[in-house]
Amino acid sequence: MPAWSVRLIRGALVYLVAGAMIGAMLLSAAARGVAVPVGPARALHAELLLFGWLVQFTMGVAYWMMPKHATGPERGPVAPIVAAWLLLNAGVWLAGLGQALLWPDPVVIAGRAAEAGAVLAFAVNLVPRVKAFGAGRSPSP
Amino acid sequence: MPLLTRLCLRAGLAWLVIALAAGLWLAVSPMGAPPGLRPTWIHLITVGWITNLIFGVAHWMFPRASREQPRGQAFWGWVAFGGLNVGLLLRALAESFPGPSAPAMLEAAAVFQLGAGVAFAIHIWPRLTVR
């Protein structure tokens, strides 16, 4: 498994545990009738699990498993993956904490923009790899 | 395909069918459906369907942990599978059919689902190796 997949999937697992922890606290608070700021906590819970866990995990697995190139770097240029990782994590923190701590709207908007940028950067690497396995390789004699 | 993966995929498919039925209930009778059904419906899809699928396929396809134990310590995989599905079942029942035991069921669901996330991380982490 390439190093960037390991990095992305390990990050996703950390978000899974963090997001599940917030979800468990929300569920427990609802069961006990304890008043908690449900809206902000739920927004952070959703941000961590949808973008931090699901999107990041998917990126890590796709970078590992999609068809490799026959020539040049086998998994394509690394720079878009580095950019996707940085932007996605910055986006999760900005949008998640921005909603949870009721920070000004521009922080959340910046977070959402970073998440969108992460997906675009990831697509730059991945789209050329959406092809049949073995495409571009010369047939063996 | 290992047994744990088959069970995760079958459970995921079952939850998907239940989620579609819950979605239909919400669409046909939004006022008649229990108030807790909407968050339950979202979790039936994201936890029941998607997460079961991820747990099962990761257990099956991720790099081998070692020659002796190719899929690592299966115990944690089983804890993750059990916790995820028992927790979701308790939550779905408590929120869809609220009764006197609902708070205790929700508390238990919180513990089971958090435990599932932690167990899955413990199970998969050693298999994330650079090769």
pLDDT of residue A133: 78
pLDDT of residue A141: 59
Q: What is the pTM of this model?
A: 0.93
Pick the closest to residue A55 from A67, A47, A66 (CA basis).
A47
pLDDT of residue A35: 79
Q: Which residues in chain A have Cβ-Cβ distances shorter than 8 Å to B106? A: 27-28, 30-31
Residue A138 domain-assigned?
A: no
Interval B71-123: pLDDT, tens = 988 999 999 999 999 999 999 999 988 889 999 999 999 999 999 999 999 99
DSSP chain B: --HHHHHHHHHHHHHHHHHHHHHHHHHH-TTTS-TTHHHHHHHIIIIIIIIHHHHHHHHHHSPPS-SSSTT--HHHHHHHHHHHHHHHHHHHHHHHS--TTHHHHHHHHHHHHHHHHHHHHHHHGGG----
Task: Show the domain range for A107.
Answer: 3-129
pLDDT of residue B7: 98
Interchain proximity A25–B130, CB inside 8 Å: no
pLDDT digits (tens), chain A, 141 positions: 999 999 999 999 999 999 999 999 999 998 888 877 888 999 999 999 999 999 999 999 999 999 999 888 999 999 999 999 999 999 999 999 999 999 999 999 999 999 999 999 999 999 999 988 777 777 665
Q: How many domains does chain B have?
A: 1
Task: Show the domain range for B117.
Answer: 3-128
* Identity of the residue in B103, B118, B124 whose CB atom sits nearest the CB atom of A31: B103
Residue A135 domain-assigned?
A: no
pLDDT of residue A36: 79
Residue A62 domain-assigned?
A: yes
Q: Which residues in chain B have Cβ-Cβ distances shorter than 8 Å to A57? A: 54
Q: Which residues of B112-126 are buried (b: 16+ CB within 10 A; e: fewer)?
A: bbbbbbbbbbbbbbe
Sign for the CA dihedral angle at B29, B30, B32, B34 comes to positive
Predicted complex ipTM exceeds 0.85? yes
* CB of A124 less than 8 A from some CB of B: no
* CB of B45 less than 8 A from some CB of A: no
Give the nearest chain A residue to B119 (CA atoms): A17
pLDDT of residue A79: 97
Q: Which residues in chain A have Cβ-Cβ distances shorter than 8 Å to B91? A: 27
pLDDT of residue A139: 67
Residues 6+ apart with CB under 8 A from B24: none
Residue A116 domain-assigned?
A: yes
The mean pLDDT value for B51-65 works out to 95
Q: How many domains does chain A have?
A: 1
* Identity of the residue in B106, B114, B131 whose CB atom sits nearest the CB atom of A30: B106
pLDDT of residue A34: 85
Average pLDDT, chain B: 95
* Identity of the residue in B50, B63, B120 whose CB atom sits nearest the CB atom of A1: B63
